Amino acid sequence: MKEILAYQMTAKDAPFEKTAIPVPEPAEGDAIIEISGCGVCHTDLSFWHYGVPTRHELPLVLGHEISGTVVEGPSQWKGKPVIIPAVLPCGECELCQGGRSNICQNQKMPGNDFHGGFASHVVVPSRFLAEVPDAALANHSLAELSVIADAVSTPYQVIVKSELKPGDLAIVIGVGGVGIYAAQLAHIMGAKVLAIDIAQDKLDQLAEFGVTATINSKGLDIKEIKNQVKGANKELGASRFGWKIYEMSGTKAGQELAFALLGIAGSVSIVGFTLDKLEVRLSNLMAFDGQLIGTWGCKPELYADVIKLTAEGKLKLKPFTATFPLSQINDIFKQTLEHKLLKRSVLTPDF
């Protein structure tokens, strides 16, 4: 194989251009993956529309939620279906050796540091590939499983970091995109889940996996939302203490609400990203003995846990993903930007 077919970003807001790029010279341990699917993430929109710079200069093939089959590379990987972690650490540095590989400062990210997944193939280090067992493919296509690379694994990591326990109240703010998987994972782990969003159609989706406690916060001020949260907590039979709050919306309003809901022995986990600044009283952390948790991606070691939940039929991805031909990338990005798509879009190569 001499060329990779791809759609690459050439400039902010410019249409993605179909192109052929030379196959990078594989380093020792690298694998060439024939791509089955690549999810469209808000991070991709940040690069393409919101002006967040990529680490690799343009033109660049975006896309970091990638699944596919190994066609070249180490013999133990050839022919195997895999998911590529969205963050590929070095595995050797202080952070990696200390269990914080997700924030490795030598990490490489497809579609940011090098050409990513909106293509026919991608070349990546094989060291941290996550193998997909046959059981996980029983109810999902390999393309649909691509969302595990970020949209599912990222909330899984933060739920683990927050030490969520069965019976805890888990408040998920923003249940589109990453948030819907956060709500589902918290439910799987035995939490009493309360979802908050301004879009009723997103809240309605949660019934698919048994979450029915929801608040449509559109037009409500923080005081009104807090009163409704207290009422929902009472109905769910959860404790008044130790609430686990997960901010997934990536909005100023969502982050302000998350911090306002922090109470005694509670925690706020920030997953959504915004450039907006806000004012909060950090002394609440002291007064409530609370925690403020940040998270970045997911360390590769946790991917097997997420894939296992899918293989066991506990984690549902199919109802919340929609696949489209990669040739429709410009239309899909436009619709995603305009919030016209309810499900997570996965682009599949159709060269």
Q: How far apart are CA 154 and CA 171, in angstroms?
A: 16
Domain final residue pick, 251, 266, 294: 294
Decide: 252 and 276 in contact? Cβ < 8 Å: yes
Predicted confidence band at 241 (pLDDT cuts at 50, 70, 90)? Answer: very high
Same domain? 146 vs 167: no
Region for residue 281 given its phi and psi (left: phi exceeds 0; alpha: psi -120 to 50; beta: otherwise): beta
- pLDDT at residue 25 greater than cutoff 90: no
Cβ atoms of 158 and 246 closer than 8 Å: yes
Q: Are residues 114 and 49 in the same domain?
A: yes
Question: Do both 22 and 114 map to the same domain?
Answer: yes
User: How far, in Å, CA of 272 to CA of 304, rounded?
Assistant: 24
289-324 pLDDT per residue, tens: 999 999 999 999 999 999 999 999 999 999 999 999
Bridge partners (DSSP) of residue 291 are 267
pLDDT of residue 180: 96
Model confidence at 132, pLDDT cuts 50, 70, 90, reads very high
CA distance linking residue 187 with residue 208, whole number of Å:
12
In this structure, are 234 and 270 located in the same domain? yes
Among residues 294, 316, 331, which one ends one of the domains? 294
For residues 262 and 264, what is the distance between their CA atoms, to the nearest angstrom? 7
User: Are 138 and 253 in the same domain?
Assistant: no
> With 80 as the cut, is the pLDDT of residue 1 above it?
no
CATH at 173: 3.40.50.720
DSSP run (H or E) holding 33: strand 30-39
| Tens of pLDDT, residues 178-235 | 999 999 999 999 999 999 999 999 999 999 999 999 999 999 999 999 999 999 999 9
260 with 199, same domain?
yes
Q: Point out the domain boundary residue: 253, 270, 294.
A: 294
Going by pLDDT thresholds of 50, 70 and 90, the confidence category of residue 249 is: very high
DSSP 268-333: EEE-S--S------THHHHHTT-EEEE--S--GGGHHHHHHHHHTT-S--GGGEEEEEGGGHHHHH
Same domain, 190 and 250: yes
In this structure, the dihedral spanned by the alpha carbons of residues 100, 103, 104 and 106, taken in order and rounded to 10 degrees, is 170
Q: What is the pLDDT of residue 89?
A: 96
pLDDT at 176: 87
Domain count, the chain: 2
Of the candidates 295, 294, 233, 219, the one whose C-alpha atom is nearest the C-alpha of residue 261 is 233
Q: Are 78 and 72 in contact (CB under 8 A)?
A: yes
How many CB atoms lie under 10 A from the CB of residue 59? 16
My answer on whether 241 and 318 are in the same domain is: no
Residue 149 bridge partners (DSSP): none
Residue 129 and residue 246 share a domain: no
Domain that holds residue 30: 3-150+298-348
Domain CATH code at residue 119: 3.90.180.10
**In this structure, what token pair is assigned to residue 240?**
């008044």
Same domain, 75 and 129: yes
Confidence check: pLDDT of 273 > 90? no
Supply the DSSP symbol for 16: P
**pLDDT for residue 151 is more than 90:** yes
Considering the domain architecture, whether residues 211 and 141 belong to the same structural domain is answered as no
> Are the beta carbons of 261 and 171 closer than 8 angstroms?
yes
Average pLDDT, the chain: 96
Same domain, 57 and 166: no
pLDDT confidence tier of residue 2, bands split at 50, 70 and 90? confident
The amino acid present at 236, given as its one-letter code, is: L
Query: What's the rounded mean pLDDT across residues 273-292?
Result: 94
Per-residue CA distances from 74 to 1, 41, 116, 308, 333 (Å): 17, 29, 20, 24, 35
Three-class secondary structure of residue 3 per DSSP: strand
Alpha-carbon gap, residue 218 to 228, rounded angstroms: 13
The Cα–Cα gap between 124 and 89 comes to 11
Task: Report the residue count for the chain.
Answer: 351
At 32, is the pLDDT very low, low, confident or very high (cuts 50, 70, 90)? Answer: very high
Distance, in Å, from the CA atom of 331 to the CA atom of 40, rounded to the nearest integer, reads 12
| pLDDT value of residue 342 | 87
At 35-59, the pLDDT tens digits run 999 999 989 999 999 999 999 999 9
DSSP string, 155-207: HHHHHHHTT--TT-EEEEE--STHHHHHHHHHHHTT-EEEEEES-HHHHHHGG
Contact residues for 142 (Cβ-Cβ < 8 A; gap 6+): 36, 37, 67, 68, 69, 81, 132
